[in-house]
Structure 1
Amino acid sequence: MALGSFMINLITQSIQESIQGLFKKLLLVSLIGLLAWAYQATRPPPPKICGTPDGPPITAPRIKLSDGRHLAYKEHGVPKDKAKYKFIYIHGFDSCRHHAVVANYLSPETVDSLGIYIVAIDRPGYCESDPSPNWTVKSIALDVEEFADKLELGEKFYLIGFSMGGQAVWSCLKYIPHRLAGATLLAPAVNHWWSGLPANLSAEVFNAQIQQDRWALRVAHYAPWLTYWWNTQKLFPPIGVIAHTPKIFSSQDKELIAQYVGKEDKSSVKQQGEYESLHRDLILGFGTWEFDPTELKNPFPNNEGSVHLWQGDEDILAPVKLQRYIAEKLPWIHYHEIQGAGHLFPYVNGMSDTIIKTQLSVED
C-alpha cells in the first residue's frame, strides 16, 4: 500500500514537473516570438532607391556627390550664367524640390529685373535624392556646399530654408558661413532640446502642443529607433504633420491649404520610403544636435551679408515664443514677425517678392 502511494505521488510529481516544463517552454517560445515580432515591427522596410530595378524612375537632373549619392534639383528664374543673384532653396517636411514656394510664386517682374536664379534641391531621402544612412546635422551643410560647387554657383550663394529646411540653414550658418552671401529662414523648425533654450520656456512651448505631437517628438528624441513604428502603427495617431491633424494649422494656414498647398502634387515625396524621408527628418531635426543655433556667431561681422528670420505670430508648428527668444539671443539676425500669420505665410500673395527683396535690400 505504501509502495502504491509512493508510486502515485512519484507519477503525479513527474506529470506536474512535465507540465511546468512545458509551460516554461511555451512561455519562452512566446516571449521569443513576441520579441521577434516587436523587433521586426520597429524595423523599417528597405528603401526603394530611384533608378534601381525596384525603385522609382529618375526624372530630375541630379548632382553626384563624392560619396556616390545623388541630389536632385529643379531650376527657376533666369539662366544660371546670366543671374546676378543665385539662391539655393531647401524645402520643409513632407515636401520636395517641386514645392519651393518662394521660387514658385515669385513674380516674373522681380525675377527679370533683379536677375534671380533659384535652384531647389530634394533633401536626402526625399523624392529623387538618394537616402543618406549617415545623415547628420553637419552632413546636410556639406552636401549643400558640394552641390553648389558641382553646379558651379560660384564662391558665394544665398540660402532660403522653409520649416525643417530652416534647420538646414542653421547648419550651413554653422559649418559653411564663408560660402554664404546671405540667408533667409522661413518659420524654421525649433528643436525643444537645444541646450541654449531656457528650460522653462522650452517646456512651456512643448507642453502647449497637441498630445500626439508631444509623444511623437519624445520618441524621435529619446528612442529614435522606435520612430518608424510609432508613426506607422494604428493604435494611436502619429505626429500631426503626418496625420494632417487640423489642430496644428492656424486659420490662415487652412485658407492657404485650400487655395494653394492642398493642390500641390506630393505623390513622389515619399516614394523612396517614409522612413528615409519623413522619419529620418524627425530623428535628425529633434535629436541631439552637435551645436546650438542660439550660440552661433555672426557670419557677416562686416555687414557683407545678412540673415533674415521670418515668423508668423499665430504659427502653431513653429511657435513664435521660441523664435522671439532666438532673435533676441542673436541680435545680428533681422527678425520679421508677421501679425495674423501661420506656418504657411510664404504662400500669401506677394510674400515671395517681399522675402527676396528684403534679403537683397531692394526697395519697391
Structure 2
Amino acid sequence: MREPARLGRTRLPDGRYLGWAEWGPSDGTPVLFCPGAATSRWLAFGGDAVDAFGIRLVSVDRPGLGASDPAPGRTLSSWATDLRHLIQDRALHVPSVVGFSQGAPFALALAADGLVNAVAVVSGSDELAHPRFAHSLTPQVKAMVDAVAADPDAATASFADFGSADALWDLIITTSPEADRAVYTDPVFRQAFRHAMDEAFSQGPAGYARDTVLAMARWPFDPAGITVPIDLWYGQQDTSPVHSPDFGASLAGRLPTATRHLLPDAAGSLLWTHTEAVLRTLLDHAR
C-alpha cells in the first residue's frame, strides 16, 4: 500500500468535479480502477508492481464519494459519460479498467460504452437482480434486491441510514473468511483501507447509498454486447453474499469475450494477494 503519486479533480461539462488519484509513471500504460463499496480513490493495489509493470493506475471517486461532487439520480450510464470526459481530460486515450467488488458493474459499464480496451473484474458484484439468481441469493441480499425493485427511493434512504465507515468495516470483517481477515486486518492495509472508507463518507452516506441501489438493480446494458477482453477473477474461499453466487460462472456465459479464473486458494481479497497475475493478464490484452 502506497500513498498516491498524484491527486486531483477534473471538472465536468456540467460544472461538477470528479476526484482521482494516480500511482505509477505518468507516461505509463493507463489502467482505471473502480474501487469497491464504501471506499474511495485512496484505495489502490499493486504497490511496487505498478512501477515495475509501467502502469499508470488511476482510481476515481464515484459521484458523492470522496472528492467527487454528488450527481443526484446518477446511473451506470451517466457514470460512463462522466468517465468519457475524465479520460479525455487526463489524456488516458483508451485505458484498461479494473473493477473490484461493487466496482465491477461500473467497470463493465465503461466497456459497454466502448471506453476501455480490456476489463479485469476481481471478486466482482454480479447482476444480482437478474432472474437467474432469484433462488440463490441469501435472504438479506434478496430483500435488498426486492426493495430496490419495489421502491428505489425508499431503498436509498434505508441504505443511507445504515451507511457509515464503521458499520461497513464491521460488516466486511464479520462476513469475511479468515483468509480475507488476515489481509484486511494487517496493520498497514487496515490503515489504508479505513482511510479510504473515511474519505468515501466525507460527504455523508448518500453516495454509498446510490452506489448500492445501482449495484442491486438490473444493469442498463447488455453484457453480450461487450466486445473487449474480460477476465473474471474469483476466489473459491470468498464468502461475500454480494459478489457472485456462482463465482462468475453464469456471468462468463453472458460475456462472449470473458475468461473466468476461479482460484481455489484465494478469497475475496485476491486483488491484493494475486495482484501480479491480474495485472499481467490485463496488460497482455492492453498491449
Calculate the TM-score normalised by the size of structure 2: 0.84
Alpha-carbon shift at residue 232 of structure 1 (Å): 5.7
Residue 227 (structure 2) aligned to one of 298, 301, 309: 298
Alpha-carbon shift at residue 242 of structure 1 (Å): 6.9
In structure 1, the residue matched to 2:150 is 222
Alignment of 1:104-143 (within 5 A): 105-107=46-48, 110-143=49-82
Alpha-carbon shift at residue 222 of structure 1 (Å): 2.0
In structure 2, the residue matched to 1:337 is 262
In structure 2, the residue matched to 1:33 is none
1:307 aligned onto 2:230: yes
Alpha-carbon shift at residue 319 of structure 1 (Å): 2.9
In structure 2, the residue matched to 1:17 is none
The 1:270/1:112 distance shift into structure 2, 3 A limit, reads: closer
Alignment of 1:7-26 (within 5 A): none
Residue 275 (structure 2) aligned to one of 343, 352, 359: 352
1:272 aligned onto 2:203: yes
Query: Aligned to 1:173, what secondary structure does the other structure show?
Result: helix
Matched-pair contact (CA < 8 Å) for 1:63–1:70 = yes
Residues 113-137 of structure 1, C-alpha deviation per residue, up to 9 Å, x if partnerless? Answer: 4321111111111111011113112
Alignment of 1:86-235 (within 5 A): 86-101=30-45, 105-107=46-48, 110-154=49-93, 156-175=94-113, 177=114, 179-194=115-130, 198=132, 202-206=133-137, 209=138, 211-231=139-159
- Aligned amino acid, residue 80 of structure 2: A
Residues 20-75 of structure 1, C-alpha deviation per residue, up to 9 Å, x if partnerless? Answer: xxxxxxxxxxxxxxxxxxxxxxxxxxxxxxxxxxxxxxx95100011111001111
Determine the C-alpha separation between the residues in 2 that align with 1:218 and 1:243.
24
Determine the C-alpha separation between the residues in 2 that align with 1:268 and 1:112.
25
Query: Aligned to 1:87, what secondary structure does the other structure show?
Result: strand
The 1:313/1:204 distance shift into structure 2, 3 A limit, reads: farther
Task: Flag structure 2 segments of 5+ consecutive residues without an equivalent.
Answer: 1-5
Alignment of 1:76-87 (within 5 A): 76-78=23-25, 80=26, 82-83=27-28, 85-87=29-31
Query: Aligned to 2:99, what secondary structure does the other structure show?
Result: strand
Residues 115-171 of structure 1, C-alpha deviation per residue, up to 9 Å, x if partnerless? Answer: 2111111111111101111311211111111101011112x1111111111111111
The 1:331/1:292 distance shift into structure 2, 3 A limit, reads: closer
Determine the C-alpha separation between the residues in 1 that align with 2:141 and 2:50.
39
Question: Which fold has the larger relative contact order, with Cα–Cα distance below 8 Å and residues 6 or more apart in sequence?
Answer: 2
The 1:227/1:135 distance shift into structure 2, 3 A limit, reads: same
Query: Aligned to 1:281, what secondary structure does the other structure show?
Result: helix
- Aligned amino acid, residue 260 of structure 2: Y
Determine the C-alpha separation between the residues in 1 that align with 2:145 and 2:169.
12
Determine the C-alpha separation between the residues in 2 that align with 1:131 and 1:324.
34
Matched-pair contact (CA < 8 Å) for 2:100–2:122 = yes
Alignment of 1:5-84 (within 5 A): 60-78=7-25, 80=26, 82-83=27-28
Q: How many pairs were matched up?
A: 270
Q: Percent identity?
A: 21
